[in-house]
Amino acid sequence: MSATTSSIVLVIVASFIGSFGAVLLKAGSMRVKNGIRDMIFNPRILLGCVTYVLSSFFFILAIRQGELSFLYPMVALSYVWTLLWSRLFFGEPFTRNKFAGIALILAGVALLNAGRG
């Protein structure tokens, strides 16, 4: 067994939480005018960093049991969530390449899971 179901669920939770970290960093970065101080004290960027730490917390619990070579590639699911939020919150368009990328990532995760057992 390359990983337990609970490890897989924890990685998916971590990737989901982490995708909000990216959204918060983006939202913060749009308000940063100039200088490193502006960035460090931006509440959205700070919250984004906290979100990443929270995501790492779940990821560490996930890889405690199970294979890293099986669980780490599933982190790529965060790209799928991030593209959804980019479209939803920032109006970034879906392109053919993004669709292809999402399809390949989902297919890759399916392949990994097909070999589980």
Which residue ranges make up the site for another protein (CB under 8 A)?
Answer: 2, 14-15, 18-19, 21-23, 25-26, 29, 52-53, 55-57, 59-61, 63-64, 67-70, 72-73, 75-76, 78-79, 81-83, 85-86, 90, 92-93, 95, 97-98, 100-116
- Residue 87 corresponds to which amino acid? R
Q: Which is nearer to another protein, 43 or 106 (CB)?
A: 106
Q: Which is nearer to another protein, 6 or 43 (CB)?
A: 6
CA dist 9 and 12 (Å) reads: 5
Min. distance of Cβ 50 from another protein in angstroms? 13
Min. distance of Cβ 52 from another protein in angstroms? 7
Min. distance of Cβ 43 from another protein in angstroms? 18
Min. distance of Cβ 38 from another protein in angstroms? 15
- Please name the residue that has the structure tokens 């999402």: 102
